[in-house]
Chain A
């Protein structure tokens, strides 16, 4: 949750009836969309919904310090139809406005004491942020240890078996950490397989448990449905080709994308989460002699233990490709803003404000 800066909440006073204050909160686009409110201190204020803000009428006791707190709930159904729902997933905005001196007929907030504070929800929920970074650390550990394991036998095969005496499907032209492997290099790298294997399996355990937690959370909270499944309009051929064209032209992401994923992004994340991750786990387990003794179909379906190893290597390459594009796109979209959003959950306000003014 982030505190809004004073300039985010733009307070103006109006003479309306006997006394009244209009608090206009800018910086959050969905205020246009018709909002309801739920002020906890309602005995002090009456609330009238206006298209551009909130108006408090019949403010009693205007000459004493008052604290007005308003809670804004933004119903998702009221969001602009040109964007998919999750473009504005602001569900709850709390603004606390301290008002010290108000006159009888008009209430003029004093600049010094008018410290409007509002919180906006996180761009990414805490669970998404924590699981994202655990996954990142585990992936890097898996990548490093996986590369180390490959170095001990940089040859790949198809089928059940393969070794130095059998033909390869392909081989990597790198030196090896075992001297029996015919690499063409005159030297042998040090053996790092012990800790590499231990790190690989430990990181796999942590990332699988993290992934399970994330998947359960995603299903229970509607995270997949709201944030990752593309909306119907996004999947129309026109919207889809527009998004592809935008990516191909390297257009900067729109401000709305600070709060939401575009359709290609959604599809990529869904592909990684529901296709690549399960497949890399499956191909990994299919190499385990003990695991396949209990579940032989897991390796037989892949065409053998060496096929599983080769497929595991290719899925890892696909994941590395995703990582590179992902980091590249984050860089392109504004590295520190995106990083801040994924670390603290905050999105820089000026961007949101700019967006509001533009629409």
Chain B
């Protein structure tokens, strides 16, 4: 019995040491390859990290499903929006001619772009599903300029790791990693189902990210910042969602 215990003890000790060392190496590698989400702390950090790391590895280049025109939901369901601010109403009264998307941070040429300027860039149309974390969903045609094109226009510095995007609504901001920011289906959307993007769906400008659920698809975008660290934004958890108890990464 003592022999067995000793053997067991040694084996367990070795296994535990190997396990801890392995975890250390895995954590170092995950950090290096950008597989740790900014909200990795806290009691759900394990799950958030495993989800983000595995989905980032599996889906770096995969495309969200696109649908035939016949599957477009009629009418598209518009989720509730916060009461519009006075500033928004003023811009709305002017036909959004005064709406500006400012882009700064780790870029060569910071810019302030009007909706018309965005429309002058090559547009991309996709028929994709928007699904809410609550469980409902709809399919719509989204028209916009790929975020990657706007990032090309301003010239992103090589050390950039995240794009932070802000809404005109107070305290509404999110961020994505460069894999999502440069993804061909990530659009700055200004049109929907052949027309203008309705205000109820985030018009005049909404960030469309079909591989993540609804709340990452922020409405009324006014500002983008390119950064290599999310520590300086809000509480440093990556976006407003984790501050409200939701995950930063929402690919599931």
Write the residues of chain A forming the contact surface with B, with a CB cutoff of 8 angstroms: 149-150, 152-153, 155, 160-166, 178-180, 193-195, 197-199, 201-206, 285, 287-294, 296, 299, 305-306, 309
Any A CB within 8 A of the CB of B246: yes
Enumerate chain A residues within 8 angstroms of B63, measured Cβ to Cβ.
Answer: 293
Q: Is the CB of A160 within 8 A of B247?
A: no
Q: How far is the CB of A357 from chain B (nearest CB, A)?
A: 30
Any A CB within 8 A of the CB of B95: no
Q: Is the CB of A205 within 8 A of B65?
A: no
Any A CB within 8 A of the CB of B123: no
Task: Give the A-B contact count at a CB cut-off of 8 A.
Answer: 127
Enumerate chain A residues within 8 angstroms of B210, measured Cβ to Cβ.
Answer: 289, 293
Q: Chain B residue with minimal CB distance to A203?
A: B47
Q: Is the CB of A194 within 8 A of B245?
A: yes
Interface residues of B in 202-252 (CB under 8 A from A): 210-213, 241, 244-247, 251-252
Q: Is the CB of B211 within 8 A of A163?
A: no
Q: How far is the CB of A20 from chain B (nearest CB, A)?
A: 28
Q: Chain B residue with minimal CB distance to A159?
A: B71
Enumerate chain A residues within 8 angstroms of B50, measured Cβ to Cβ.
Answer: 202, 205
Q: Is the CB of B137 within 8 A of A290?
A: no
Among the 9-residue stretches B16-24, B74-82, B83-91, B165-173, the one with 4 or more Cβ atoms under 8 Å from chain A is B74-82
Q: Is the CB of A164 within 8 A of B212?
A: no
Enumerate chain B residues within 8 angstroms of A195, measured Cβ to Cβ.
Answer: 44, 245
Other A-B pairs, 10, CB within 8 Å; known A162-B136, A290-B62, A305-B131: A150-B135, A160-B67, A160-B129, A163-B136, A166-B77, A202-B46, A203-B47, A290-B212, A293-B62, A305-B129
Q: Is the CB of B139 within 8 A of A160?
A: yes
Q: Could you say which of A165, A199, A206, A288 contacts B77, with CB atoms under 8 Å apart?
A: A165
Q: Could you say which of A194, A197, A293 contacts B65, with CB atoms under 8 Å apart?
A: A293
The CA of A280 and the CA of B129, in the complex, are separated in Å by: 22
The CA of A199 and the CA of B55, in the complex, are separated in Å by: 18
Enumerate chain B residues within 8 angstroms of A299, measured Cβ to Cβ.
Answer: 65
Q: Could you say which of B55, B71, B80, B241 contacts A291, with CB atoms under 8 Å apart?
A: B55
The CA of A152 and the CA of B137, in the complex, are separated in Å by: 13
Selected A-B contacts with CB under 8 Å, 12 pairs? A161-B71, A161-B137, A179-B80, A194-B241, A194-B244, A198-B48, A198-B247, A202-B50, A205-B46, A290-B252, A291-B55, A294-B62
Q: Chain A residue with minimal CB distance to B241?
A: A194
Enumerate chain A residues within 8 angstroms of B247, measured Cβ to Cβ.
Answer: 194, 197-198, 201
Q: Is the CB of A180 within 8 A of B252?
A: no
Write the residues of chain B forming the contact surface with A, with a CB cutoff of 8 angstroms: 44, 46-48, 50-51, 55, 58-59, 62-65, 67, 71, 73, 75, 77, 79-80, 129, 131-139, 210-213, 241, 244-247, 251-252
The CA of A99 and the CA of B246, in the complex, are separated in Å by: 67
Q: Is the CB of B251 within 8 A of A163?
A: no
The CA of A166 and the CA of B136, in the complex, are separated in Å by: 10
* A152-B135 contact given A160-B67, A165-B75, A288-B251, CB 8 Å threshold: yes
* A153-B139 contact given A199-B44, A289-B64, A290-B251, CB 8 Å threshold: no
Q: Chain B residue with minimal CB distance to A195?
A: B245
Q: Chain B residue with minimal CB distance to A201?
A: B47
The CA of A199 and the CA of B252, in the complex, are separated in Å by: 13
Q: Chain B residue with minimal CB distance to A202?
A: B47
Q: Is the CB of B44 within 8 A of A305?
A: no
Enumerate chain A residues within 8 angstroms of B73, measured Cβ to Cβ.
Answer: 161, 163, 165-166
The CA of A164 and the CA of B210, in the complex, are separated in Å by: 20
Q: Could you say which of B75, B79, B211, B245 contacts A180, with CB atoms under 8 Å apart?
A: B79
Q: How far is the CB of A88 from chain B (nearest CB, A)?
A: 24
8 closest cross-chain pairs (CB), A and B: A202-B47, A290-B251, A194-B245, A198-B44, A153-B135, A288-B252, A163-B136, A163-B77
Q: Is the CB of B47 within 8 A of A164?
A: no
Enumerate chain B residues within 8 angstroms of A306, measured Cβ to Cβ.
Answer: 137
Q: Which of A163, A305, A309 has the most chain B CB atoms closer than 10 A to its own CB?
A: A163
Q: Could you say which of B77, B138, B246 contacts A193, with CB atoms under 8 Å apart?
A: B246
The CA of A306 and the CA of B134, in the complex, are separated in Å by: 12
Enumerate chain A residues within 8 angstroms of B62, measured Cβ to Cβ.
Answer: 290, 293-294
Enumerate chain B residues within 8 angstroms of A291, measured Cβ to Cβ.
Answer: 55, 58-59, 251-252
